[in-house]
A = this chain, B = another copy of it.
Amino acid sequence: MLGPGKARLLEAIRDTGSISAAGRAMEMSYKRAWMLVEEMNAAFQDPLVDSTRGGPGGGGARVTEAGLRVLALYRSVQATAALAASEDIAALKAMLRGPTGGI
């Protein structure tokens, strides 16, 4: 199970090397960031994040090979989907009020 929030959290852990720093960067509580990581690790056959729990200030984390692959696939799904559906998306946006819109 993966959605936009978890994908961004994975990227933030990859970039910061820390679950707590990633959570802070996303304005998410330490507890929530950990819960999302545990959900992801439980949902996939291989853990997506390797970590040593060290309290709000400590501990390190890294995104595993499986995690990097999941991230790449997820971003690829998004890009492929957006490209394939771009005509319908443009038609929907054209129906929105305002100059920019957003579906």
On A, residues with C-beta under 8 Å from B are 1-2, 42-46, 66, 69-70, 73-74, 76-77, 80-85, 88-89, 91-92, 95-97, 102-103
Nearest B-chain residue to A42, judged by Cβ: B97
Whether the pair B73, A81 counts as a contact (CB closer than 8 A) is: no
Q: At the interface, is chain A mostly helix, strand, loop or mixed?
A: helix
Contacts known (A1-B102, A88-B76, A102-B1); A66 close to B81, Cβ less than 8 A: no
Contacts known (A1-B103, A45-B97); A92 close to B74, Cβ less than 8 A: yes
Whether the pair A88, B80 counts as a contact (CB closer than 8 A) is: yes
Nearest B-chain residue to A83, judged by Cβ: B84
What residues of chain B lie closer than 8 Å to A89, measured between beta carbons?
A: 77
Whether the pair B85, A70 counts as a contact (CB closer than 8 A) is: no
Whether the pair B91, A73 counts as a contact (CB closer than 8 A) is: yes
**A–B complex contacts, Cβ < 8 Å, 11 sampled:** A43-B97, A44-B95, A44-B96, A45-B95, A74-B92, A76-B85, A77-B85, A80-B85, A81-B81, A84-B84, A84-B85
